Amino acid sequence: MKVTNISNPVGFILLGFSDQPQLEIVLLLIISVIYILTLMGNTSIILVSYLNPKLHTPMYFFLSNLSFLDLCFTTSIVPQMLWNLKGPEKTISYTGCVIQLYIALGLGSTECILLTVMAYDRFNAICRPLHYSVIMHPKLLRQLAAVTWVSGFLESTVQTILVFQLPLCSHHNVDDFMCEEPALIKIACVDTTFLENELAVAIVLYVIVPLGLILVSYGCIVRSVLRIKSAEGRRKAFGTCGSHLIVVVLFFGTIICVYIQPKSKYTQNHSKFLTLFYTVVTPSLNPLIYTLRNKEVKTALKRLLDKDLRE
């Protein structure tokens, strides 16, 4: 069969798990439930952080940003995924694919930077407690949030433009359940070495460097905490960082497994499940992790629920 190039296809076919129809039915049910929990959990975190004056602190300001980001992230991916899982049609329009890649990549990059900023906040809270309120003032919080969102979508703009300038093969079958950059690069009909190298640089800047900064921050935090004489003080200090550290391990761990691994069909199949984890499961776990490990959030949620019941 002769293969021709097309620069602007009508749409793409997201193969996803189409070779396993029984698995698709199971995933449809599971992902639907997880998506509902994600919407409820992250919306609750945002409302509680906004309505409770005691939670108007830098930590909950960034946590609200994380919850809003997770809401947008899953919504940019899950509805299309559920539509494709429910029937034989697995298509997405060209414009829809461009938008999905741009938004998902932008939000994913933003989350990498945001988790780094949250680690910086925890570093100041524990290592510089006397100067914390002076360092993390409201103006700086807004500036950090702005830089985080702008930097994430700046990277996404560059990557999206480069990807969709590639001439694509006529079959335009994307071996994934979403429009993700590595899968789109594979269906290009030209040498993609430059773009692959550029993607590697982006991974270093937005994954490796932020993770390195987070680890350095936690190294300083551990050293400061070990200097605390009371066991109760050490427990409380570690408790304030535990939730964030768990989220960092889950998010960065799966991203590294997806983007930094050998290329083979075996790893591609596993890559889909790992991508599912950080795009669908992790956003639903974040509110749960912060709620279960944080007494202030649990108390605020209980008060909000009690108030609604009384009314």
pLDDT digits (tens, 9 = 90+) for 177-200: 888 888 888 888 888 888 888 888
The region of weakest confidence among 1-5, 24-28, 78-82, 219-223 is 1-5
For residue 163, give both structure tokens.
């990807």
Whether 279 contacts 251, CB under 8 Å: no
Within-domain flag for 2: no
18-27, 97-106, 133-142: which range is least confident on average? 18-27
Asked whether residue 1 is assigned to any structural domain, the reply reads: no
pLDDT at 140 exceeding the cut of 50: yes
For 145, the 3-state DSSP assignment is: helix
Kindly state the average pLDDT of the residues 221-230: 83
Q: Is residue 242, in this structure, part of any structural domain at all?
A: yes
Tokens for 195? Answer: 């773009």
59-78 average pLDDT score: 93
8-46 per-residue burial string, b: 16 or more CB within 10 A, e: under 16: ebeebbbbbbbeeeeebeebbeebeebbeebbebbebbb
The DSSP element (H or E) to which 12 belongs, if any, is: strand 11-14
Greater model confidence, 201 or 298: 201
- Strands 173-174 and 11-14 come out as parallel
Q: What is the pLDDT of residue 298?
A: 66
Residues 262 and 74: their CA atoms lie apart, in Å, by: 27
Question: What is the DSSP code (8-state) at residue 311?
Answer: -
What's the whole-number mean pLDDT along residues 157-168? 90
CB atoms within 10 A of CB 169: 17
The predicted model gives 277-283 an average pLDDT of 88
Other CB atoms within a 10 A radius of the CB of residue 214 amount to 24
132: its two tokens:
């914390």
Q: Which of 2-11, 100-109, 222-231, 292-301 has the lowest mean pLDDT?
A: 2-11
Quote the pLDDT of residue 288.
Answer: 81
- Looking at residue 172, its pLDDT comes to 80
CATH number for the domain harbouring residue 219: 1.20.1070.10
38-42, 75-79, 177-181: least confident range: 177-181
Distance (Å, rounded) from C-alpha 270 to C-alpha 273? 5
pLDDT band per the 50, 70, 90 thresholds, residue 235: confident
pTM over 0.85? The answer is yes
- Element (DSSP H or E) covering residue 29: helix 21-51
Asked if residue 126 belongs to a domain, the reply is yes
Quickly state the pLDDT bin for 86 (edges 50, 70, 90).
confident
Phi-psi region of 52 (alpha: psi -120 to 50; beta: other; left: phi over 0): beta
Least confident residue range of 180-184, 204-208, 224-228, 290-294? 290-294
Instruction: Give bridge partners of residue 168 from the DSSP assignment.
Output: 6, 188
pLDDT greater than 90 at residue 30: yes
User: What is the domain extent for residue 215?
Assistant: 8-310
Q: Could you tell me if residue 3 is inside a domain?
A: no
In which residue are the tokens 């640089």 written? 201
Q: What value does the mean pLDDT of the chain take?
A: 84
Number of folded domains that form the chain? 1
For residue 275, tell me if it sits in a domain.
yes
CA dist., res. 41 & res. 107, Å (int): 18
- DSSP for residue 166: S
Among residues of the chain, what percentage have pLDDT more than 90? 38
